[in-house]
Amino acid sequence: MARHEDDREDLIAEAKAFVMRAELAVPPEIEPILLGLRSNGWFSVYWNANRVFHFDEQGGLRRAFLEGSLYRSGTSGLARLVRNRRGIGASELLRSDLTAAELAVFFADMQQSLEFVAHQLAAGEATVLRQVPEEGDVVQDLRKALTKTLPPRLAGPVGRR
């Protein structure tokens, strides 16, 4: 993620942890969507700095960034962490665990977003703008990783993995 929330990174160029990555034009989205796959099988989808999902190798949600909040899987479910800025250089993360109802809404929204991308890819409506590596069918491997994320579920607790 960008150091400042307003920054727009060039993830294709800068996200070297993704051994496979593709920047896609997915109508009617205005900004490109990035799909990235790490060598350990972890998978990520970036709409922009305010909508990002990170998954483990089985497709379980590890982390998400939505509208300024960080979401992280844990032993008790999914936790929302909101940054509380207390002046220059000082901030704290305020944690709250999602209720079962909030988690259901979160998963429904996430599923709709991921199914939309999967459908656009399957229908040939998504256009590859750039990919790394430049050769090969990177999108096919990314589509396989994307299908593992459905239906939505949580990964184990984020931490020492």
DSSP 87: S
User: What's this model's pTM, rounded to 2 decimal places?
Assistant: 0.87
User: What's residue 7's pLDDT?
Assistant: 52
Reference 139, options 149, 150, 129; nearest CA is: 129
User: What's residue 121's pLDDT?
Assistant: 93
87's tokens: 């002046």
User: What's residue 36's pLDDT?
Assistant: 97
Q: Which helix (H) or strand (E) holds 141?
A: helix 138-148
User: What's residue 8's pLDDT?
Assistant: 54
Predicted confidence pLDDT, tens digits, the chain (161 residues): 344 444 556 888 888 899 999 999 999 999 999 999 999 999 999 998 889 999 999 999 999 999 889 999 988 899 999 887 777 777 788 899 999 999 999 999 999 999 999 999 999 999 999 999 999 889 999 999 999 999 999 998 665 44
Q: How far is CA 122 from CA 5, 26, 117, 147, in A?
A: 32, 12, 9, 11
User: Helix 100-122 and helix 138-148: axis angle, to 10°?
Assistant: 150
Q: Are strands 61-66 and 69-74 parallel, antiparallel or unpaired?
A: antiparallel
User: What's residue 15's pLDDT?
Assistant: 87
Q: How far apart are CA 157 and CA 76, in angstroms?
A: 9
What does residue 68 show for φ and ψ, rounded to 5 degrees? 90, 0
